[in-house]
Chain A
């Protein structure tokens, strides 16, 4: 069984702060890493699909980087807003393994 780990488990930040989370995964047999944003009682929403070592992707204030050689990806949120509050999941899609997520709360 492979481990996909996310840290921190939860995070509270003030509105306007920038923040980042980590997803670590096995560095072998890599195909893709997916990031999702998941609000309570809704379905996970795809943010990024990352496939190449060194990938950097950006969507608005959210960006992500990928290091397949050392097995980690960072998700960054610049200038957090209350509507960014959600759980952010990563998934190691070579074997369809999801992390347990980082729960972000942005305090107005």
Chain B
């Protein structure tokens, strides 16, 4: 079974440019999460999709970040325009639909390899 994949693995852009990150979750996983780790800090939640709907986007830092998951399959995270502080590793994770009586947060999340973004 293929794991969570992310593209690109690395991206170096200049301040003010636009970058789009892509995540392909494990097939059948309704839940898709975006996280970010800024150097030396903890992993921080950005948002959570259930199928194509945004369940929780409370972690999105500002309106320069736009996440989509058209059709409930892969997801994209666009940063426009990019700023220096956006540099970091962007992780995507997916999890299956929760079992009876469970919540999404109680399911194992499978992480992708991350996209390393550097804004110069």
Instruction: Report A-chain residues with C-beta under 8 Å of the C-beta of B35.
Output: 96, 98
Instruction: Report B-chain residues with C-beta under 8 Å of the C-beta of A97.
Output: 45
The answer to whether A49 has its CB under 8 Å from any CB of chain B is yes
Tell me the minimal C-beta distance from B48 to chain A in angstroms. 7
The answer to whether B106 has its CB under 8 Å from any CB of chain A is yes
Summed over the interface, the residue pairs from A and B with CB atoms below 8 Å come to a total of: 53
- The reply to whether A44 and B91 form a contact with Cβ atoms under 8 Å apart is yes
- The reply to whether A96 and B91 form a contact with Cβ atoms under 8 Å apart is no
- The reply to whether A43 and B114 form a contact with Cβ atoms under 8 Å apart is yes
A101 to B105 alpha-carbon distance, docked (Å): 19
- Total interface residues on B, CB under 8 Å, equals 24
- The reply to whether A89 and B43 form a contact with Cβ atoms under 8 Å apart is yes
- The reply to whether B111 and A93 form a contact with Cβ atoms under 8 Å apart is no
Instruction: Report A-chain residues with C-beta under 8 Å of the C-beta of B49.
Output: none
The answer to whether B113 has its CB under 8 Å from any CB of chain A is yes
* Least CB separation from B114: chain A residue: A43
Q: Other than the known A43-B111, A49-B107, A51-B106, what 7 A-B pairs have Cβ atoms closer than 8 Å?
A: A45-B111, A46-B110, A93-B105, A94-B105, A98-B42, A100-B41, A101-B42
